[in-house]
Structure 1
Amino acid sequence: MTSIRLSLVSHTNVGKTTLARTLLGRDIGEVRDAPHVTEFAEMHPLLQSPAGDVLELWDTPGFGDTVRLVRRLQQDGSAIGWFLSEVWDRWRDRPFWATQQALRHVRETSDVVLYLVNAAESPEAAGYVGPEMALLAWIGKPVVVLLNQLGAPQAPELEAAEVERWRSRLAGQAPVRAVLPMDAFARCWVQEGVLLGAIAA
């Protein structure tokens, strides 16, 4: 039996758990308009073969202060880094500590990272994307970027132009393998089929 692990990551309050619900076709986790609702990485079977092979979907805590998070994770392996993460952060800032734990888990166990961005804002206005690309580079796994909140259905050429704006913004980012539309608020088998094809590749 084989398990393939997909980890869903993003800035906090972008819609990871809502997207996980859409992909799974059932309610999981807690959804509300607040940061750090998801506290720990949670696994849900997305697909399972008759032989017992599983495509796992992991929902993770959102990134908060990304710049501070990058600095802290880059201290991994040092005594001061261990103290700050495992003692200081755990006591002083539990959501920040939980996010570090989840990202270490993603780095150690994931096969593909699904990175969700809020496409309701322009790629140029999404200032958090640069530091989060540094986090994804630290994780070191292939990344599929999912564009959430593209809005009401548009003409295909308009949606393609929006996707291309994000592709251009993310061009040259080493871990990014694909940029795809994926609305967390609507179940679309076409988008899901494209996503599964990208994961297989």
Structure 2
Amino acid sequence: MTEADNVRAIKLAVVGHTNVGKTSLLRTLTGDVSFGKVSHRPSTTRHVEGARLSVDGQALVDLYDTPGLEDAIALLDYLERLDRPGERLDGPARLARFLEGSEARQRFEQEAKVMRQLLGSDAGLYVIDAREPVLAKYRDELAVLASCGKPLLPVLNFVSAREHREPEWREALSRLGLHALVRFDSVAPPEDGGRRLYESLALLLESARPRLERLIEDQEKQRRARKHSAARLIAELLIDCAACRRSVETTAEQEQQAVEALRKAVRQREQQCVEALLKLYAFRKDDVSTSDLPLMDGRWGDDLFNPETLRLMGVRVGGGVAAGAAAGAGVDLMVGGVTLGAAALVGAIAGGALLTARSYGGRLLGKLKGRRELTVDDAVLRLLALRQGHLLLALGVRGHAAIHRMELTTPQEQNLAQRQNPRAAHPCPCPPAMVNTQSARQTESG
């Protein structure tokens, strides 16, 4: 292979029967939800479309989406009749004669587009709907494609479906001499799906290995960077919500207005995080639906010396009087300020740390002035963290060909909400793990 061949992009034709997920595979490999047109109707792709994978401005792989093969049985019969008396053409020569004839522009127009692209490519990815039975038309497709004389890598799509027939396809492919294949579900690909596919290609195209390895390395680097950025986005959401405070008069009307304002602020901030995560993973805003944070009614902490607060404070102060102020402040933060700084004040007096008393005296002053401070409950912060974590996991295994919306809820939301407030038994649709779901923590403030 020449030096020019080493620097040019590897050309890969994505081929297969109509409606097996060729365009879906391209969407997932390129991370582009808008590539091509995906539909349950057959023959959606009518022309060859291309996409390029580059690293640092250098093109490494050119992918070509081709129309679906529709009548391989008739095409194979036609090809076998093209040999003239006394001649025996090999596969590429027979296809060349077919492409020069009128049938390539009429009856077999779509198949001719596929053959031209595969002949001009370095290799082909033969996409298989693993849910389909192994039929004669698929065997004939493989026979026609093999006559191009190009390496073929079968890609088993939709292997996440319960009704897949992977063992049957493996056996059928091995009988046709195709022992190297890759499992790649374009809707729910494994995290290392791209790596496996390119490593399998490297076995068929040894000269292309350096470029494929570079692409693998770059995609791994991008994946790690996305995870780091996603963790930062979620951390910023939690910090912002934990720091969100509303100081209000102690009238019923203003209290309710404050609760609603906090609800709205938390919902909006969570939605900002959701949209940022979707953008980070190159999905659309409408790819996920969010339910409201459950039980956003909150509670007002009127009791300056709540028994549970005192119990917690007693445990924390048990190490000695000198630790009193620090322990009290910790309690005050742990219970969301329900103690209004009383724990810290008592601890400060016991430990002689008057500066701590000054820091928390403002809350007591707010109590005397008839004002309250509304903050986000710890249960809601846990809920936010788990919902975003659930979304992050879903994004990590979602292919860009997926068309169903993700639900930003988890299965235990309703159960845990009922555990905290058995009377609030409103239905809540859900997927995997959530925590306490009581929503706003309301504390007295200055």
**Residue aligning to 1:170:** 173
SS for the counterpart of 1:183 is: coil
Q: Give structure 2 stretches of 5+ with no counterpart.
A: 1-6, 83-94, 204-446
Asked if 1 retains the 8 angstrom alpha-carbon contact of 2:69 and 2:110, the reply is no
| Change over 3 Å in CA distance of 1:78–1:58 after alignment to 2 | closer
Q: How many residue pairs were aligned?
A: 183
Structure 1 residue aligned with 2:103, among 67, 81, 84? 84
SS for the counterpart of 2:155 is: strand
> Alpha-carbon deviation of 1:20?
1.0
2:43 partner amino acid:
H
1:110 aligns with 2:110: no
Give runs of aligned pairs for residues 58-137 of structure 1, distance below 5 A.
58-73=64-79, 75=82, 76=95, 78=97, 82-86=101-105, 89=106, 93=107, 96-107=108-119, 109-123=120-134, 126-137=135-146
> Alpha-carbon deviation of 1:25?
0.8
Q: CA RMSD in A?
A: 2.6
| Change over 3 Å in CA distance of 1:54–1:146 after alignment to 2 | same
Rg (Cα) greater in structure: 2
Query: Which structure has more RCO (C-alpha within 8 Å, separation ≥ 6)?
Result: 1
> Alpha-carbon deviation of 1:79?
8.8
Identity of aligned residues (%): 30
After superposition, the C-alpha distances for 1:70-89 in whole angstroms (9 at most, x for unaligned) are 24455445599613323xx1
Higher helix share: 2
After superposition, the C-alpha distances for 1:144-178 in whole angstroms (9 at most, x for unaligned) are 11111123489xxxx9xx6444222211424x351
| Change over 3 Å in CA distance of 1:183–1:146 after alignment to 2 | same
After superposition, the C-alpha distances for 1:121-163 in whole angstroms (9 at most, x for unaligned) are 344xx33221012112111111111111123489xxxx9xx64
SS for the counterpart of 1:141 is: coil
1:138 aligns with 2:176: no
Higher strand share: 1
| Change over 3 Å in CA distance of 1:139–1:127 after alignment to 2 | same
1:41 partner amino acid:
V
**Residue aligning to 2:24:** 18
Asked if 2 retains the 8 angstrom alpha-carbon contact of 1:143 and 1:177, the reply is no
Asked if 1 retains the 8 angstrom alpha-carbon contact of 2:159 and 2:166, the reply is no
| Change over 3 Å in CA distance of 1:190–1:65 after alignment to 2 | same
TM-score by length of 1: 0.79
Q: Give structure 1 stretches of 5+ with no counterpart.
A: none
| Change over 3 Å in CA distance of 1:83–1:189 after alignment to 2 | same
> Alpha-carbon deviation of 1:50?
2.8
TM-score by length of 2: 0.38
After superposition, the C-alpha distances for 1:78-133 in whole angstroms (9 at most, x for unaligned) are 599613323xx1xxx5xx303312312211x111111111111344xx33221012
